[in-house]
Structure 1
Amino acid sequence: MITARISTGIPGLDIMLNGGLIPGRTYLVKGAPGTGKTTLAMHFAMAGISNGESVLYITLEEPGENIKQDFSRMGFDVYNENFTLIDATPTTEHYVLVEDFFESFAKNLNKLTDAIKEQFKTKRYSRVVVDPITMLKFTSSDELEYRKAFLSFIKTMMRLRTTVLITAEGEQADIEEYLVNGVIELELFQKEGRLERALKITKFRGSGFDNVIRPYEITENGMVVYPDKSAL
């Protein structure tokens, strides 16, 4: 029996995943700043939009208008009516103008989970992006409490039958790695005096996958992964 797959929006990455992601599960994209986590997340979101799906994108770090402007210039359909972008960044403007709205999404992980559930009462989203989950981790002073909240988040997303992609800073994603269904790591390294990028899949439950570290680039049209080349 062949498991149904959905596209990440990046053909080379889909090849590495043996056809794409298994729907209805939660996946983690981790990496240092500048590796392209948000770009990969936006490809995932736009793959849903191009397929006629409704997508919920929650940004907790980069202001929403910046995201729309930057990715619109790259050709992404971020103004599509089926693309809902929630700006939950902790800026001065948000605290002044929409404090309650910000708090409902970004106070902590349990609040985020409840807020997403509320969003689903008005629209059925097949894909959800949280970028980055790291911001919510900083609000929790107790690791066990955060672990319980994250597990509750995953179970809630499963009940909502949505596919979730979360991003996290590389060194801040230890708990999430254990609980998600798949992990994609983005890396930067120097090679012959040049800054290179490499992608690897370290976990993908329910499927085989390409375990070779592959190179990728960030271009004016987004991320390109080279599944037939080795980063080494």
Structure 2
Amino acid sequence: MEDYRISTGVRGLDLMLRGGLIPGRVYLVKGAPGTGKTTLGMHFAMAGVLNGENVLYITLEEPGINIRKDFSKLGFDVNNPSFTLIDATPTTEHYVLIEDYFEKFAKNLNKLTESIEEEYKIRRYSRVVIDPISMLKVAATTEAEYRRSFLAFVKVMAKLKATVMLISEIEKSDIEEYLVDGVIELKLIESGDELVRLLKIKKFRGSGFDHRIRRYSLTDRGMIVHYGDDGS
């Protein structure tokens, strides 16, 4: 069905996307630290869990134990058996225990791609979150090497028919924005004596979308994108 969409887990963003994301494609969420990128990634992951899907979440920066603790407080079902969290962080108190995951998933983008393919042989995942992909860009020896690896990654994800959300802290991205199917940007700006959070969709292949910049909030229930005129 051509018009079939899947939810991001954030109602206001789904409305901006005219119903949600097109499944089986790769999307980029970019923004500075503290803008709520991981929160959006977790909303996307949990929307899959609620829909009865198997979800793979790979963390390359924030220790998995912190992610489970923080998001369980927000009411996210992070201990659901359909949700697989792989901690591939390079530095942690438990580094010895997760070193194997770091070597498999975080050494470079090629290793990550191969390891995801291996995970698919064990369990079929329909959604994948990589948080953040920028860690692997920094690890690349050359820009050309990273470009080749990223193109191969996108092709493999298409073959697996996974819907992928990549999180990036590099605000000026190049090859990622060119090759992915959609780009969502989060910004945090000063307005008078307050900080304002703004979201915009920069790219969304295969569909029309809301081009307006919308305010969003991070609350004790997660992310809320204020889509309506009533502030909802």
Shared fold, TM over 0.5: yes
Q: Which residue of 1 aligns with 2:145?
A: 145
Q: Secondary structure at the match of 2:122?
A: coil
Q: Which residue of 2 aligns with 1:103?
A: 103
2:10 matched to 1:10? yes
Q: What is the alpha-carbon distance in structure 1 between the residues aligned to residue 179 and residue 82 of structure 2?
A: 29
Contact 1:213 1:230 in 2 (8 A): no
Q: What amino acid does structure 2 have at the position aligned with 1:46?
A: M
Contact 1:134 1:172 in 2 (8 A): no
Contact 1:28 1:176 in 2 (8 A): yes
Q: What amino acid does structure 2 have at the position aligned with 1:201?
A: I
Q: Which residue of 2 aligns with 1:202?
A: 202
Please report how far the alpha carbon of residue 192 of structure 1 lies from its aligned counterpart in structure 2 after TM superposition. Answer: 2.2
Q: Which residue of 2 aligns with 1:45?
A: 45
Q: Which residue of 2 aligns with 1:55?
A: 55
Q: What amino acid does structure 1 have at the position aligned with 2:104?
A: S
Q: Secondary structure at the match of 1:121?
A: helix
Q: What amino acid does structure 1 have at the position aligned with 2:90?
A: P
Contact 1:212 1:230 in 2 (8 A): no
Contact 2:46 2:77 in 1 (8 A): yes
Q: What is the alpha-carbon distance in structure 1 between the residues aligned to residue 99 and residue 67 of structure 2?
A: 21
Q: What is the alpha-carbon distance in structure 1 between the residues aligned to residue 230 and residue 157 of structure 2?
A: 34
Q: What is the alpha-carbon distance in structure 2 between the residues aligned to residue 198 and residue 38 of structure 1?
A: 16
Q: What amino acid does structure 1 have at the position aligned with 2:175?
A: I
Identical-pair percentage: 66
Q: Secondary structure at the match of 2:171?
A: helix
Q: What is the alpha-carbon distance in structure 1 between the residues aligned to residue 37 and residue 112 of structure 2?
A: 20
Contact 2:87 2:98 in 1 (8 A): no
In the alignment, structure 2 segments of 5+ residues that lack a partner are none
In the alignment, structure 1 segments of 5+ residues that lack a partner are none
Please report how far the alpha carbon of residue 193 of structure 1 lies from its aligned counterpart in structure 2 after TM superposition. Answer: 1.3
Q: Secondary structure at the match of 2:144?
A: helix
Please report how far the alpha carbon of residue 174 of structure 1 lies from its aligned counterpart in structure 2 after TM superposition. Answer: 2.2
Please report how far the alpha carbon of residue 19 of structure 1 lies from its aligned counterpart in structure 2 after TM superposition. Answer: 0.2
Contact 1:132 1:167 in 2 (8 A): yes
Q: Which moved more, 1:187-196 or 1:80-89?
A: 187-196
Q: How do 1:1-232 and structure 2 match up within 5 A?
A: 2-229=2-229
Q: Flag the 1:199–1:92 CA change in 2: closer, same or farther, 3 A.
A: closer
Contact 2:197 2:217 in 1 (8 A): yes
Q: Secondary structure at the match of 2:39?
A: helix
Q: What amino acid does structure 1 have at the position aligned with 2:143?
A: E
Q: What is the alpha-carbon distance in structure 2 between the residues aligned to residue 31 and residue 75 of structure 1?
A: 24
Contact 1:134 1:173 in 2 (8 A): no
Q: What amino acid does structure 1 have at the position aligned with 2:62?
A: E
Please report how far the alpha carbon of residue 3 of structure 1 lies from its aligned counterpart in structure 2 after TM superposition. Answer: 1.6
User: Can you list the C-alpha shifts for 1:23-45, whole angstroms capped at 9, x where unaligned?
Assistant: 00000000000000000000000
User: Can you list the C-alpha shifts for 1:162-205, whole angstroms capped at 9, x where unaligned?
Assistant: 10001001425322111100000000111121001000000000
Q: Flag the 1:226–1:126 CA change in 2: closer, same or farther, 3 A.
A: same
Q: Which moved more, 1:126-135 or 1:85-94?
A: 85-94
Q: What amino acid does structure 2 have at the position aligned with 1:14?
A: D
Contact 2:134 2:170 in 1 (8 A): no
Contact 2:30 2:169 in 1 (8 A): yes
